[in-house]
Amino acid sequence: MNVTILYGGQSAEHEVSILSAFNVANAALEGGYTVQPIFITKEGQWLKGDLLNEPLNQVEDLEGLTLERMANPGELAEVDTVVFPVLHGPNGEDGTIQGFLEVLNLPYVGSGVTASACGMDKIISKQLFEKAGLPQVPYVAFNRRQWQEDQESWIQKCEGNLLYPLFVKPANMGSSVGISCAENQEELIEAVLEALIYDSRIVVEQGITADECEVAVLGNDDLSVSVVGRLVKDAQFYDYDQKYINNTVTMEIPVQLPEAVTDKIQKYALQAFQAIDGSGLSRVDFFVTSNHDIYINEINTMPGFTKFSMYPELWRHTGLSFRDLVEELIQLALRQHRARQELQQPNIK
């Protein structure tokens, strides 16, 4: 069978997508699939690469493919393929590409339109987590218009409801893009202006002293959960370059916490996945304090697959190799596609 890998994209996480696509492509090739790479430029052009039959040696091989512009991306519907959208951020994991693939009636890896959109949007996902009874740190949310019309009022709301340090985040962005830590009012204003470059909706969160723990979820209806991992940091906050370019983040897998705590983290991860109606895969991130208080941070419906990424590492330590993980994701995509078709075409008596 053919696996079509979509990578690149128009978001600020373009480079992460390329790194992830290289690993996913090789895993699929090692699993006996042929791979059709399709590169989406930062300008939104779709470029079709050579059909791959053998593993690539380095990321530069993926970037150096002979690429031809696709006049009509809809021609994907003419191929017997399953699509692996290795796209991060807006126009990748926010429901837009998922909707396009559903219109083409193609099986694809990962959550559907609604779950992808809800998981990507930090404000909506927080509201769903609250509805599910999951503990979260206090936050304030607003949009560009509200900030421009009454900046002082929103500063007062942030400072009146939250304590410094504050973390300011675009509502729809991942990989720490556009996120800043503010220690005072001047830095808060600067952080909001930075976040508004990437999105028109902003979340300001209470900073807490805690470890960042993550857990991986895999499945559609029957869900599996990985061991819990922890980011080992020598700084309170790591930005995009530190996470993905310089790789200054190390991981402790599995995390050394009491079993009762890890059990609760895993339980919360499954609840978060179900709260957004996820399918296929997700990485769920938590804050865990020294007193073992647990707060959900966010859910990522298309986590990274780079050599530094937590999601495949969590499964490797749980007993599932990278190649087998990619194979399972492909099979889950096919099963989910069949389930969608059955719902769309019920038996008529």
SS3 38: strand
Q: Is 211 annotated as a binding residue?
A: yes
3-state secondary structure of 145: helix
Is 42 known to sit in a ligand binding site? no
The answer on whether 291 is annotated among ligand-binding residues is no
User: Does residue 250 have a known ligand-binding role?
Assistant: no
Conformation bin of residue 293: beta by default, left when phi > 0, alpha when psi is -120 to 50: beta
Q: Is 20 a catalytic residue?
A: no
Distance CA 272, CA 275 (A): 5
* Residue 216 assigned ligand-binding role: no
Is 210 annotated in a binding site? The answer is yes
**161 labelled as ligand-binding?**
no
Is 224 known as a binding-site position?
Answer: no
The DSSP line for 164-228 is SSEEEEESS--TTTT-EEESSHHHHHHHHHHHTTT-SEEEEEE----EEEEEEEEESSS-EEEEE
Distance CA 194, CA 202 (A): 10
Residue 175 annotated among the catalytic residues of the structure: yes
Known binder of ligand: residue 94? Answer: no
Has 205 been labeled as part of a binding site? yes
Residue 175 is assigned to a ligand binding site: yes
Annotated binding residue at 212? yes
Q: Is 209 known as a binding-site position?
A: yes
Q: Are 335 and 220 in contact, with CB atoms under 8 Å apart?
A: yes
Indicate if 309 belongs to the active site. Answer: yes
* 307 annotated to bind ligand: no
* Nearest of 237, 87, 249 to residue 167 by alpha carbon: 237
Give the other-Cβ count within 10 Å of 288's Cβ: 22
Compute the distance between CA of residue 146 and CA of residue 171 in angstroms, rounded to an integer.
15
Q: Which of 93, 309, 313, 327 is labelled catalytic?
A: 309
Q: Which residues pair with 201 in a beta bridge?
A: 143
Angle at 113 between CA 129 and CA 21, to 5 degrees: 100
Question: Which one is catalytic: 175, 180, 226, 279?
Answer: 175
Angle at 19 between CA 13 and CA 24, to 5 degrees: 115
Q: Is 15 annotated as a binding residue?
A: no
The annotation status of 246 as a binding-site residue, yes or no, is: no
329 near 109, Cβ under 8 Å? yes
Instruction: Give binding residues for ATP as ranges.
Output: 122, 167-169, 175-176, 205-212, 297-298
Instruction: Give binding residues as ranges.
Output: 122, 167-169, 175-176, 205-212, 285, 297-298, 300
Residues catalogued as catalytic: 13, 175, 309
Instruction: Give binding residues for Mg(2+) as ranges.
Output: 285, 298, 300
